[in-house]
Every structure is written in C-alpha cells, then in structure tokens.
Amino acid sequence: MDPALLKDREAFKKRAVAVPVVENRKRETTPKDVKKRPAIPSKSFEPPPPKDPFRYKSVSGTGNSFSVLAKIVKYMKTRHLEGETHELSLDEILDETSQMDVGTRQKTWLEQEALKSNPKIEVTEDGKYKFRPPYNIRDRRSLFKLLEKHDQRGLGGILLDDIRESMAHVDVVLKKLEDSVLYVTRPTDKKVVLFYNDKSVQLNVDEYLQKVLRSVATDGVDDAKIEEYLKKRGIHSMQDNGSKKVNPILKRKRAAPKKARQYKRHNEHLGDVLQEYNEG
C-alpha cells in the first residue's frame, strides 16, 4: 500500500479522536410532561323509536295498508249500490275481499284508526261496518223529495257524483223525473249539479220579447250605462227604495247638552241666624 495514503489515514484518525462527540440521549418523559388529550365523548347508542302500529306507513305485512283500506271502501260502496246494506265485521270484509293474509298490526290499525276515521265508513254499535252514502236515497221518490227539500230550504243543488254514490241506476231514475230536475255544469271543475225545477215560479215570456232580449249585446257594459241608455229613451229603471245605510265614519254623534254645574252649599241650617252688615 502507498505509504503516503497510510500516513493520511493515521492523521485522519488522530483528528477524529480529538473532536469531542455529544451524545443525544432521549429524554425520559414523566407523567407531568404528557399532555392530556381531551376525552372524546362516546356517542351513546339510541335505539330507534318504536313503530306506531296505528300508522299505515309503519305497518309491516303483506302489501300496503293504504291499498288494503282503499279496497275495503270500494267493496263496501259496491255492495251498498247493489242493495246489500247489512253490516259486516272486519273478518267478513277481509274474507269477501280476499285479504285474509293481512297481518295483526294491519288489522289493529284498520279497527282502531283507519275505518273509524274514514268518512265513507260507518261503525255500528256492535263493532261492525257499513257504507255511509252522502245522501240516504234509494229510489225516484226519495230523490225527488231530497231535491225539493234543498230548494225550499235554500240549500242549493246536489252534485250528480254524490247521487251516483248514494243510489244505483241513477240514469234511469233521472229519466223518469224528466222536467222536475235542472242540470247545471259548473265552469270550474265541469261537474254536474242538480236543482229542483219548481214550475210554480216560472214566468211565461213572449217568444218575440225573448228574441229581442237575446239580440241585445251587453258585454262590457255596466249597470250605470244601461240605466243612462234607458233614461234617454224615456224608460225608467227600477230604483232601490230601501233604507240607505249611513257610513258610521261620517256620522257624528251629537254632543249631549251640558248640565248646569251644581255647587255644594254649606251651613244651610244657620240661614236665620246669620246677619248681613252693609258698609254704612
């Protein structure tokens, strides 16, 4: 080996030994030095709320509970229109509607809430059920009396849909009534309303006068313009001669007349003793 390299090697060793070495020892940690971490609150386990057996959305079983109810109401309406008006128990209804696979929770919901609160189902005293029609009518005579009663009491008309829901063979019955019924179609929902046709209040108007009245166009003309038009041609329109209402804001109450103020008099019992001394 080259003697120069050996010499440099020895010199390097000497320098390395001469340089002090600082040893970095790990500091022993004490319990005081340990930073306490904030405790993470553990989430308490909350059990899910119990299902309400009287709510159709939470009822478990075969099929939707609401569809079961709709099927029952439809069946009860059909049998009512067919003339079967006797009451049925819930088991009999489920049997006749082929829904015997309904669970216990669904039956409880039907008995305790659904059928009791349904406006189309009536619950009898013995706990059975029957259909509740809008009107208690069954034939032509009862329908005629119902329309006449509404007219006399000023209750207005009756929807044709309600009549169809109350009795069967409505078209045949209405055909027999003929001129005793007036039909009016509502412009809002296009539903037909039936009114009693009271012939005793009808007026016979000449056909020529009817044509004249129908030929006059009054679209966009108010009552004031019509009255002015009639006055120009010497025709006086009907006037409202009823009592006029006075605006309570403009009407002022008359002030009550002021009473003379009365002063309290003292020592009236000494009137005969007191004397007056005039200046002499």
Whether 258 shows a pLDDT value over 80: the answer reads no
pTM: 0.51
CATH number of this structure's domain 140-201, picked from the four choices 1.10.3470, 2.60.40, 3.30.420, 1.10.150 = 3.30.420
To which residue do tokens 């229109």 refer? 81
Q: What is the pLDDT of residue 128?
A: 93
Whether 65-131 shares its CATH topology with 140-201 is answered: no
Least confident of 183-187, 215-219, 252-256: 252-256
Whether 57 shows a pLDDT value over 50: the answer reads no
Q: What is the pLDDT of residue 229?
A: 83
The CA distance from 260 to 234, in Å, is: 60
The CA distance from 183 to 196, in Å, is: 9
**If pLDDT is split at 50, 70 and 90, which confidence band does 246 have?**
low
Between 272 and 3, name the one with better pLDDT.
3
Q: What is the pLDDT of residue 274?
A: 57
Residues 53-59, mean pLDDT to the nearest whole number? 44
Residues 145-167, mean pLDDT to the nearest whole number? 92
The CA distance from 207 to 204, in Å, is: 9
What is the DSSP code string of the chain? Answer: --HHHHHHHHHHHHHHHHS-----PPPPPPTTTSPPPPPPPPPPP-PPPPPPTT-TTT--SSS-HHHHHHHHHHHHHHHHHTT--S-B-HHHHHHHTT-TT--HHHHHHIIIIIHHH-TTEEE-TTS-EEE--SS---SHHHHHHHHHHHHHTT---EEHHHHHHHSS-HHHHHHHHGGGEEEEE-TTT--EEEEE--GGG-----HHHHHHHHHS--TT--HHHHHHHHHHTT-PPP---SPPPPPTTT--PPPPPPPPPPPPP--GGGTTT-------
Provide the residue ranges of all domains of the chain, joining segments of one domain with +.
65-131, 140-201
Looking at every residue in the chain, the average pLDDT score rounds to 78
Reply yes or no on domain 65-131 having CATH 1.10.10.10: yes
Whether 90 shows a pLDDT value over 70: the answer reads yes
Q: What is the pLDDT of residue 78?
A: 92
Tokens of 142: 């009862």
Whether 121 shows a pLDDT value over 90: the answer reads yes
